[in-house]
Structures are given as C-alpha cells and as structure tokens.
Amino acid sequence: MMPTLYTMPETCSLSPNIAVAWLDAPVEISNIAYGDQKKDAYLAINPKAQVPALRFEDGDVLTEATAILDWLGATYGKESYGRDNRLGRKEAEALAFMTSEVHATYGGHFNTQKFADSADGKEEVKRKTYERLADQYRLLEDTLTANGGEWYLGQRSFADTFLYVLTRWIEKTPLSIDDYPALKAFRVRMEADEGVSKALARQDMEPIG
C-alpha cells in the first residue's frame, strides 16, 4: 500500500498533485467528484469536508495543502525543499501568503453568502474582494518578475504549484490575466510541463493556455 492523496477538480488540491508528479513520489491519487467531499465516506477521512487530504497506510490523515507539500518535500524531495536554506525559507513564506492571504480572499468570491445576506451586501463583498485580489495579483506579478519571470522564487519550488492554481482561478473572476503578463506567461510554461500535464489529467482538468 501507499499514501493516497484525495483531490477534486478545480481545487487547490492540484498543487500537491503537481508536487507528487514532480517528485515521482509513490502516492496514489484519488480524484473525487464535486459534492462527494460532503458525503459520509469522505467525511470519515476528512471531517473538514475539504480537499486535499493525504491518508497514510496506517490510517493517519494529513490535511491542508501547505502541510502536505511540506511532508512531500521532506520525504521525497530530490531537490532542496528543506527549510534550512534560503529557497526553503522563501518557499514557506510564499506558500503562506498564497494560502492564508490570496486563497482566503477568494472566500468573498466562492462563498459570498457567508459574508452578507442582502443582494447589495453581497455586491459590496464582491467589489471589495476583487479590489483586494487585484492588489494581491499585482504583488505576485511583481515578485515573479523581480525573480526573473520563470519561477516565482527564481528557482523551481512548490510555490509554483500553488501559483499555477491561482493563475487558473483568476479566470473565475472579473479580473483579467492579461493585466499580469508575467503570470500569464508563467501559466503557459507550467502547462507545457510534463508533471503539470500529468496532474491535470489525474484531476480531470484541462489546460487553460
């Protein structure tokens, strides 16, 4: 047996899915259908009703994308994914920003009803959400550009796996990737990557271009 990574189409679970492909790690991918995360079979694995979740052979379960990425890097990393060097430290910082800041901001888009009840209130939440996202994508764009434009930190890291997710999610908003040319070019390069293509196929997803 081997650990199983639970994923779902169009979710941030694509990030550790790509990492598994990059590392050629012995991890099975189980892609569940949207809605199945709320069914008893999956809730028995992850009561949070979210993906990703990594279930080990002994039944232990690890959740949250950053925690799973940390474990993958520490266990199967063929490159320097440790936290005892500059790239590793910056990777941890970048992932924290992308998950706790940018991903969190998307709550106003994906779950507007949690922040307001009235139609006017929901529109205000969305307006503020897109304003904040625009600023955050500008920071992502500037950081990528300052580091050479190819990889977010100047060298390939797991930060690139989550950044790719964010370059896909922007298509769900009124924002345009055309306003962030470095991010747009990054997305094209990522989709030419063999590991990314493999992860997309395993998650029943298509490249955007």
Render pLDDT for 49-97 as a digit per residue (tens, 0 to 9).
999 999 999 999 999 999 999 999 989 986 555 667 888 899 999 999 9
CATH T-level assignment (fold) for domain 4-76: Glutaredoxin (3.40.30)
Give the distance, in angstroms, between the CA of residue 71 and the centroid of all CA atoms in the same chain.
15
In the chain, CATH 3.40.30.10 covers: 4-76
Please give the Cα distance from 153 to 170 (Å, whole number): 21
Q: Bridge partners of 30?
A: 6
DSSP class of residue 18 equals H
Query: Which CATH class for the 86-193 domain?
Result: mainly alpha
In the chain, CATH 1.20.1050.10 covers: 86-193
Judging by beta carbons within 10 Å of its beta carbon (0-12, 13-18, 19+), is residue 209 exposed, middle or buried? exposed
Report pLDDT digits (tens) over 141-197.
Answer: 999 999 999 999 999 999 999 999 999 999 999 999 999 999 999 999 999 999 999
Mean pLDDT of the residues in the chain = 94
What pLDDT is attached to residue 71?
Answer: 94
DSSP H or E segment with residue 36: none
50: left (phi over 0), alpha (psi -120 to 50) or beta: beta
Structure tokens at 86: 């500059």
